[in-house]
Amino acid sequence: MTMTTETKVLDGGLATELDFAGFDINDDPLWSARLLATNSAAIKQVHKSFLTAGSDVIITSTYQASVPGFQEYLGVSVEEAHKLMDHGVRIAKQACQEFCKEQDIGDSPDRRNPLAAGSVGPYGACLHDASEYTGEYVDSMSIEELQRWHRPRLGQLITSGADMVAIETIPALKEAAALVQLLREFPNTRAWVTFSCKDGLHTCHGESFPEALAAVLKSPQVFAAGANCCPPEHVAPLLQKARELCKDPAKFFIAYPNSGEKWAAGTGWHGKADCRPLSSYIPEWLDLGARWIGGCCRTRPDDIKDIRSSIEQWKKTTG
């Protein structure tokens, strides 16, 4: 993997930040995507809060968006569903543009041009039964069925002008492979792929994480791969093992785990007081080859600010 020191800071947990702001979306089958129809200004505000905190790349609110989901839970047409996904990209890009106009961002060219990644979450997320954390659905679906379901959203995000695609929180190699193959229909599109993982070695579905990363990184359209939406303590062992198998110098690792809090059905998130600061993990992840780093569920703008500071300090000490 690359040893370049070029780094980027991702955003934090968009949906959980909306939850902090008082939006009751935790049990919503559309999750943050509902606000594309009901309160897109709130989504833009969260995007901008992460940009202000130091994010170079923000991720659209389309993780749990789908044409069938919008039709079922919003009662809209296919055309209107596509417009909502388009809106998700436009909001993110508007946030980037407004941030650049409003903030004093100095002389760094990267900071003058923040990017918007189109979120492509797993099929299981739209089942609204937590199966994105097991991936069991892939055992009864073909590659073609997975592609047929993902194609409308992926195509719309690309058509709408997302700077790249974030294929994220994927629990199983089979689904990741289906999506990577689907990228060939959009040859000018670049993407990253991140897996949800149940421990320091395996995807949530049970495949070897290093082998899963090596498989998706073979695609010339996939520029980075890694893990997200997992406990932060899993990241280092995951990257350590993957480093032994993934040796393409043109590619790098990406990591954006949860805050470290635990989720329990019925009681929600807990354990904040016991969490090690996310920023304290950053030097080790960078040493292992991670170059794009951020946070997922329950990571907030202050966490992103601290992550950016940790990255900048690492760059100074490593020359």
Please, which pLDDT band fits residue 266 given cuts at 50, 70 and 90? low
Rounded CA separation 1/262 (Å): 31
Q: Is 275 annotated as a binding residue?
A: no
What is the model's pLDDT at position 260? 75
Confidence of residue 102 (pLDDT cuts 50, 70, 90): confident
Share of the chain above pLDDT 90, in %: 83
How many Å separate Cα 101 from the centre of its chain? 25
Tens digits of residue pLDDT in 292-304: 999 999 999 999 9
Among 22-26, 101-105, 129-133, where is mean pLDDT lowest?
101-105
CATH number at residue 18: 3.20.20.330
Asked whether residue 2 is assigned to any structural domain, the reply reads no
The answer to whether 230 is annotated as binding is no
Residue 72 inside a domain? The answer is yes
| Lowest-confidence region among 193-202, 238-247, 255-264 | 255-264
Give residue-wise pLDDT tens across range 151-177. Answer: 999 999 999 999 999 999 999 999 999
227 domain-assigned: yes
Strand order in the sheet with 8-9: 8-9, 290-293, 252-256, 222-228, 191-195, 164-170, 115-120, 57-59
- Look at residue 1 and tell me if it is in a domain: no
Fill in the DSSP letter of residue 10. B
Q: Tell me what pLDDT residue 267 has.
A: 63
When comparing pLDDT for 299 and 244, which is higher?
Answer: 299
CB 194 within 8 A of CB 226: yes
Per-residue HEC secondary structure of 100-141 comes to HHHCCCCCCHHHHCCEEEEEECCHHHHHCCCHHHCCHHHHHC
pLDDT bin (cut points 50, 70, 90) of residue 5 is low
- Sign of the C-alpha dihedral computed for residues 171, 172, 178 and 180 taken in this order: positive
Look at residue 94 and tell me whether its pLDDT is greater than 70. Answer: yes
Which parts of the chain fold into alpha helices (H)?
A: 14-20, 35-38, 40-53, 67-74, 78-102, 109-112, 143-159, 173-182, 209-217, 235-243, 282-287, 301-318
Question: By CB neighbour count within 10 A (0-12 exposed, 13-18 middle, 19+ buried), where does 206 fall?
Answer: middle
Q: Which domain holds residue 52?
A: 8-318
Judging by beta carbons within 10 Å of its beta carbon (0-12, 13-18, 19+), is residue 203 exposed, middle or buried? buried
Strand-pairing partners, residue 166, are: 119, 192
Residue 110 has pLDDT above 70, yes or no: no
In a domain, residue 168? The reply is yes
pLDDT for 108 equals 58
Average pLDDT for residues 48-75, to the nearest whole number?
97
pLDDT value at residue 75: 98
Residue 258, pLDDT above cutoff 50: yes
Q: How many domains, in total, are found in the chain?
A: 1
197 among the known binding-site residues? no
Task: Summarize pLDDT for 64-79 with one digit per residue, the tens.
Answer: 999 999 999 999 999 9
Q: Which amino acid is at 139?
A: D
Q: Averaged over 239-266, what is the pLDDT?
A: 87
pTM to 2 decimal places: 0.95
Q: What is the number of other CB atoms lying within 10 angstroms of the CB of residue 246?
A: 23
Token digits of residue 71: 């039709």
**Following CA atoms 193, 83, 103, 120 in sequence, which dihedral angle do they give, to the nearest 10 degrees?**
-10
DSSP-based three-state secondary structure for 59: strand
Q: Considering the domain boundaries, does residue 12 fall inside one?
A: yes
Interval 191-200 mean pLDDT: 98
Question: 116 or 113, which is more confident?
Answer: 116
- The answer to whether 311 and 280 have CB atoms below 8 angstroms apart is no
Least confident of 98-112, 182-196, 239-253: 98-112
β-pairing, 268-270 vs 262-264, is: antiparallel
Please tell me whether residue 197 adopts helix, strand or coil conformation.
strand
The residue-averaged pLDDT of 289-316 equals 97
pLDDT given for residue 1 in this prediction: 46
The upper half-sphere exposure of residue 204, i.e. CA atoms within 13 Å in the direction of its Cβ, equals 26
Mean pLDDT across the chain: 93
263 falls within a domain: yes
Position 31 scores a pLDDT of 92
Position 225 pLDDT exceeds 90: yes
How much is the pLDDT for 262? 77
